Amino acid sequence: MDRRTFLKTIGISGAVGLARPDHLLAGRAFSSPEYFDLHPFIKEHPEAVFIRRTNVADKTDFEAKRQEGIALARDIFVLADTPGVPLSHRVAIKANTTCGGSPQASQMGILTDVHFVEGVIEGMKMQLGLPGSKFYVREGNWLGDSYCPQAYWESGYGDMCERTGANGGRFDSGRLLSEVALRNLEEGSEVTWVDYPQGVVFRRIGYVAPYNQPDTWLLNIAKLKAHGMGMTLCCKNHQGTCVHPYIHFCAGVQGTISSEPRMAGDFQPDVMEHVAELHAQHLEAGVSRWDKPGSNWNSGYGMEMWGQRTCDNLDASDTRFCIIEGIYGRNGNGFDSGPGPGRTAQDFMTNVLIFGKDPFRADIIGNWLTGHEPGNFGLFHIAWDRGLSTVLNPMDIPVYLWEDPVPRRISLTELERTPLVTYYMRRNYAGQSEPEWHLVDEEFDYGPYTSVEHTDVLEPTVFVLAQNYPNPFNPSTLIEYRLPREQHARIEVYNAAGQQVDVLVDAWRRAGAHLVQWNGRGRGPGTYFLRLRTADGFQITRKMVLIR
């Protein structure tokens, strides 16, 4: 196509582009932003899970882990001049800060790495201009009547909060978390009560303030580790937002009520019968290991209770973003025990971060990457049945490898898997003799569980070349494009004179959404044009403005 023909087609193909549903990534320069938000590609793709490889040689390299947190935060959070999260909001971080962890090498894998979390906070402070006082790090087990109120300091999180200026061990009321208990919590400043009448298990849930308060943005930063519940990733980590003893999901309803009878009214009156009915339904449907006898957590019935309670908790909450810290991952029981020498847990340098907007999708990918088959875990079946998740098969989830500065769509099979064995629902009954530490990796037929979310996002029905973001820009900008089927695509950049100045893409691409960056460094300011062309003759053009 010559210069004259190209200039003539700009108006035609540009008009066609404007008729498409491609408002995605639209943006403009701003001077005094009042909001922050997620990277526009993440924001527009809640169905996706993102993988970022880290580069930490040893888990005791504190500064390297901190730098990984800073780098991630600076990549995925942006200032915004259009409504997003007001900069006046509090950022409530829920890390996995359970009992037993510490900065000692042998116990580091029990917790979300404290230096990584420190890096995330510092990165958000740098990127968004937030003061440390806007950050809150809380844990239900730090309350005075819980299992380990001393863990705030033993875990290293107390020192981290002091270094970053984040709020940790002291409520806005002025009282220490370790000084309060359910009987004397102050509503608002210390506990958030959420009514949940539609719950299977709960009718009302108490959360450690400021979790689930209107002016708070909740960030779940889980740990990549095995546990008696399988893998304790984003979904299970969220139970730590609850005050004690609501937090003790594994104890079952009777175990929880026995420790605090006044809680009885916060559970559904028919919870025992209803959960038994749901367990029977899932048993008949063939949910793996749901035939394990017993009534405690390590049984089919107990796991049904835990799964329903976990789904209640997630549905009643407003988690905005999930990160699974897998710089190193732990096998075993999630604490000290495992298949290592002397029955110790083992840590492996997995060097991966998993993140996205949907905790179930992030956890499905996390389970797959650690050698398990997600379809064998009842939690995901419960979420599917309740409409909280629209996917079960990890291969149905769009996965992107985050390669600075843009994500690249990949096949899940391109990623290395690191097996992390668990003692989840061991098959040591009915004549079976499964090893204590095992993978839950038996084959699963996903045929009946095809994703019910076949939208234009997952399988576009039209070609899309979105408006670049930001626009105007200096010196670089991001461009999203979508293909309805796998094919060859070419994206070119032209100046106002119709001269081609760059080719951003000229390759075979998968169906779905893709992102590419153009760096205008060395180019003169002014108007430029993007053009997407495909092998079957489709083309669309966009205008963008480079400023100095």
Residue with more model confidence, 142 or 5: 142
Range of the domain at 17: 3-21+457-546
Does residue 164 sit within a domain? yes
**Residue 508 is part of a domain; what is its CATH number?**
2.60.40.1930
Average pLDDT taken over every residue of the chain: 92
Give the model confidence (pLDDT) of 496-530 as tens digits: 999 999 999 999 998 889 999 999 999 999 999 99
Does residue 299 sit within a domain? no
Q: 506 with 373, same domain?
A: no
Which of these, 348, 432, 438, 358, lies nearest to 398 by C-alpha position?
358
Q: 68 with 157, same domain?
A: yes
- Per-residue pLDDT, 463: 87
Query: Does pTM surpass 0.85?
Result: yes
Would you give the distance in Å from CA 458 to the centre of its chain? 18
Q: 9 with 69, same domain?
A: no
How far is the CA of 168 from the CAs of 57, 174, 231, 422, in angstroms?
29, 12, 26, 31
Lowest-confidence range among 16-20, 160-164, 177-181, 444-448? 16-20
Does residue 452 sit within a domain? no
Can you tell me the distance from the alpha carbon of 274 to that of 290, in angstroms, rounded to the nearest whole number?
16
Its sign, for the CA torsion 436, 437, 442, 444, is positive
Q: 224 with 366, same domain?
A: yes
Does residue 420 sit within a domain? no
Give the model confidence (pLDDT) of 6-31 as tens digits: 544 544 444 333 333 333 444 444 45
Percent of all residues in the chain with a pLDDT value above 90, rounded to a whole number: 83
The mean per-residue pLDDT over the stretch 132-157 comes to 96
Residues in the chain: 548
At 259, the pLDDT band (50, 70, 90 cuts) reads confident
The mean per-residue pLDDT over the stretch 102-108 comes to 92
Q: Is 358 helix (H, G, I), strand (E, B) or coil?
A: coil
Q: 469 with 518, same domain?
A: yes
Q: 116 with 195, same domain?
A: yes
The mean per-residue pLDDT over the stretch 265-291 comes to 97
Does residue 172 sit within a domain? yes
**Residue 122 is part of a domain; what is its CATH number?**
3.40.50
Q: 405 with 468, same domain?
A: no
Structure tokens at 230: 């399988």
- Tell me if 120 sits within 8 A of 69, measured CB to CB: yes
- Per-residue pLDDT, 20: 32
- Per-residue pLDDT, 450: 78
Does residue 430 sit within a domain? no
Residue indicated by tokens 């009214």? 265
- Per-residue pLDDT, 14: 40
Give the model confidence (pLDDT) of 226-256 as tens digits: 999 999 999 999 999 999 999 988 888 888 8
At 452, the pLDDT band (50, 70, 90 cuts) reads low
Can you tell me the distance from the alpha carbon of 55 to that of 525, in angstroms, rounded to the nearest whole number?
37
The mean per-residue pLDDT over the stretch 265-280 comes to 96
The one-letter amino acid code at 469 reads Y
Q: 326 with 466, same domain?
A: no
Say whether pLDDT at 304 is over 80: yes
Would you give the distance in Å from CA 357 to the centre of its chain? 5
DSSP letter for 298, please: S
